[in-house]
Amino acid sequence: MTPELGVTTASGAYPVIVSAGALEQLPERLGALGLRGVLWLVSDAAVAAAYGAALAARLSQAGYQVQHCTVPSGEASKSQEQLWRLYDWMIGNGVERRDVVLALGGGVVGDLAGYAAATVLRGIAVVQLPTTLLAMVDAAVGGKTGINHPLGKNLIGAFHQPRLVLADTHTLATLPRRELCAGWAEVIKHGVIREAGLFAELEQLAAQRGWTETGFSGWNAEDPELTGRLTALIRRAVAVKVEVVSRDEREQGERIILNYGHTIGHAVEALVDDWALLHGEAVAIGMHAEARIAAAMGLCDPALVERQRRLLAAYGLSVTLPANLDPEAVLTLALRDKKVRAGRIRWVLPTAVGNVTVRDDVPETTVRAVLGG
């Protein structure tokens, strides 16, 4: 089987597999972990059509009983309404504590289904099966689950570590280019916060493939050399998340560095119309703004800002703020962010590629100047 990465936390240890064709290993992986109960497969409508039926059939052939439920695609499904639908479905069909929730899809499905698993019957096992790049390198690893509240994203939830994360990069071949590009924001982020070598390899590949001029060309399943390199880069980015989560399960310290780009990114995302910005697109905007804040404060060389901007552009990401965005509205929403402590925003700011610092003394005038310019 594919070599594993491994998360080890106080709540338990679990394998993380990133490879092409990983979903074919699922029955064997479940058996090796001793997971034998009913499998409650949750996916959105699009993923269900592409992969749900085939996966359910494979699991059934392996002797598992599978229940399958779909939720609407999109961020709106991270809601109390959809959570209650999952509760009604599972409880109404006799869910037991030895059963397992399978979250097949992007970050929305992973967060929603993971929270349902964390809370139904006071908690049952969950296996994360991410099918988007964003979910593979971010949401599926680390145990964060939850739903949104009208006053902000991800304000209701629980830490509930999965028993297994299985990321099949074959699924990226059917992902729209825009969603793929949004996922690269998190990959690049991991290079900035911890892995200068990953950042440099992303630059090298972009230069070799001409993406620095034309932008990321998309996932070409008929180019095995490229898909192999991209899979290796994704695994390397996931390894950063695995390392940080293993050292700080509940964001009491080091894990906050994973929020680079999210203080502004989440606020911008909340202020625009649905689908006007994907999460990764908002994070890219946040990364650029927060790097500019760092440069303005003398924490990093201004050259870092431009180097990061060029790499984001090569992977198809704009760093331009939406038109008519009110800096005061961004600041107001940022103050509701989970990273606020004693009313002060804790900013994750780059000092060099591969290193960041956390500061709570960023002047509001600096933030306004960056957002306004």
Going 192 to 22 to 73 to 163, the CA torsion angle's sign is negative
Asked if 263 contacts 292 with a C-beta cutoff of 8 angstroms, the reply is no
The per-residue pLDDT for 324 is: 80
> If you average pLDDT over residues 164-188, what whole number do you get?
96
pLDDT at 178 over 90: yes
What is the residue type of 83? L
Residues 6+ apart with CB under 8 A from 88: none
Q: How confident is the model at residue 281 (pLDDT cuts 50, 70, 90)?
A: very high
The confidence score (pLDDT) of residue 2 equals: 61
Other beta carbons within 10 Å of 40: 27
Q: Residue 179: is it exposed, middle or buried by C-beta count within 10 angstroms (0-12/13-18/19+)?
A: middle
Q: Please tell us whether the domain made up of 5-174 is placed in CATH 3.40.50.720.
A: no
Residue 151 confidence (pLDDT): 81
pTM, two decimals, is 0.92
Q: What is the pLDDT of residues 21-70, one digit of tens each?
A: 999 999 999 999 999 999 999 999 999 999 999 999 999 999 999 999 99
Say what the pLDDT of residue 337 is: 65
Question: Where do the domains of the chain lie?
Answer: 5-174, 177-372
Q: Report pLDDT digits (tens) over 133-159.
A: 999 999 999 999 999 998 877 889 999
Whose tokens are 């906050």? That residue is 256
pLDDT digits (tens, 9 = 90+) for 296-339: 999 999 999 999 999 999 999 999 988 888 888 888 887 666 56
Per-residue confidence at 11, pLDDT binned at 50, 70, 90? confident
Share of the chain above pLDDT 70, in %: 96
Helix (H, G, I), strand (E, B) or coil at 356: strand
Which neighbouring-strand residues pair with 16?
A: 5, 165
Q: Which residue has the higher pLDDT, 206 or 266?
A: 206
- Which residues have C-beta within 8 Å of that of residue 166, sequence separation ≥ 6? 17, 22, 23, 25, 26, 29, 127, 128, 129
Given this model, what pLDDT does residue 171 score? 96
Task: Provide the annotated active-site residues.
Answer: 122, 144, 186, 241, 251, 255, 259, 262, 266, 279
Angstrom distance (rounded) from CA 292 to CA 366: 9
Out of 53-57, 276-280, 284-288, 309-313, which region has the weakest mean confidence (pLDDT)? 276-280
Do strands 5-9 and 39-44 pair parallel, antiparallel, or not at all (unpaired)? unpaired
- Average the pLDDT over 174-178 and give the result: 92
Q: How far is CA 366 from CA 225, 229, 289, 329, in A?
A: 45, 39, 10, 15
Q: Is the pLDDT of residue 199 over 90?
A: yes
Going by pLDDT thresholds of 50, 70 and 90, the confidence category of residue 372 is confident
pLDDT (average), residues 236-260: 92
Percentages of the chain per state (helix, strand, coil), in multiples of 5? 55, 20, 30
Q: Could you tell me the two tokens for 248?
A: 């700080």
pLDDT of residue 155: 87
C-alpha–C-alpha distance, residues 308 and 306, integer Å: 5
The answer to whether the CB of 102 falls within 8 A of the CB of 75 is: no
| Range 177-372 has CATH code 3.40.50.2000 | no
Task: State residue 274's pLDDT score.
Answer: 67
Task: Give me the mean pLDDT over the 93-115 stretch.
Answer: 97
Name the average pLDDT for the chain. 93
What is the predicted pLDDT for the residue at 347? Answer: 95
Is the Cα torsion angle 141, 332, 193, 370 positive or negative in sign? positive
Tokens of 345: 């925003």
Burial of 283 (C-beta count, 10 Å sphere; 0-12/13-18/19+): buried
Q: How many CA atoms lie within 13 A of 55 on its CB side?
A: 27
The lowest-confidence range among 84-98, 181-195, 238-252 is 238-252
Q: Which amino acid is at 141?
A: V
In Å, how far are 24, 61, 150, 342 from 170, measured between CA atoms?
11, 22, 35, 45
For residue 133, the tally of other CB atoms under 10 A from its CB is: 28
pLDDT confidence band for 191 (50 / 70 / 90): very high
